[in-house]
A and B are shown apart, each in its own frame.
Chain A
C-alpha cells in the first residue's frame, strides 16, 4: 500500500511566522503535490513537483514556496503566515506514466493562523 505521511495533523501559528509542512511518501513516486482544501472550494493546487529539485506552480502559489531535495520528501513553506492561509493542507503523490494519474493522499494538516 502507498503511504503518504504528513509531519503534523494540527498546527497553530501566529501571523508572520515561517511555517514548514513536511510530506513523505514511501512508494518511490515521481510526482508530489500540495493542495489546500477549503469548504465549498474543493481542492486547489498550490505547487507540484515531478522530479527531485523540480517544482511547478499550481493555481494558487502566492504566499507559498516548496522544496524537494529528495525524491520521497516534499516540503511546503509559508514564508510569512497570514490569517487567510488558515486551511487544511493535503499532500499527494503519484507515479508518472500513462494511466498512472491516481494520486494518493496523506492525512492532511489543519493549520490555524492567528
Chain B
C-alpha cells in the first residue's frame, strides 16, 4: 500500500540548533516527494519538492530535505532553527493515480 509516515507528532528544538523532521514513504515507482508548512490558522505553504536529480533539495526559508532511496526517507532539515519556524509540517508523496498522499503532520516547536 502507498503511504507516508511522519513518526514524530512533535519535535522540540532550541533556537539556533539544527532541526530534523522525519518522513518515510512507501510508493510504487519513482517517488515525487513534497514538504509543506502550515502556520497557525493558515493554509499550507509549499516548501520544497523532490522529483529527480540531486538527493539534497533546497527550499524556502532555509529549509532543505535529503532524499534517501535505500531508506525510503525524505527528512526535512535546517542548520539553525528560528522561533518563527514553529509550525506544523506535512510530508506528501504522489501516488500512482497522480494524487498526493499526506503524512499526519509533525508539530515543530522552537524554544528561545
Contacts and interface: CB of A to CB of B under 8 A. Distances in A.
Interface in A4-45: 4, 9, 40-45
Contact of A107 (B43, B90, B94, B99): B43
A101 B41 CA distance: 24
A101 B32 contact: yes
B43 A58 contact: no
A70 interface: no
Interface string B43-56: 11110010100000
A103 interface: yes
Interface in B68-112: 90, 92, 94, 98-100, 102-105
B63 interface: no
B99 A106 contact: no
Interface residues of A, number: 22
A48 B100 CA distance: 11
Contacts of A90: 43-44
**Contact size range, B:** 20 to 34
Contact of B102 (A43, A99, A101, A104): A43
Nearest to A6: B43
A105 B98 contact: no
A104 B46 contact: yes
A40 B107 CA distance: 10
Contacts of A84: none
A52 B8 CA distance: 39
A101 B43 contact: no
Nearest to A44: B102
29 contacts: A9-B41, A40-B9, A40-B104, A40-B105, A41-B104, A42-B90, A42-B103, A42-B105, A43-B90, A44-B102, A45-B99, A45-B100, A48-B99, A58-B99, A90-B43, A92-B44, A99-B51, A101-B32, A101-B34, A101-B49, A101-B94, A101-B98, A102-B34, A102-B49, A104-B46, A105-B36, A105-B44, A108-B42, A108-B43
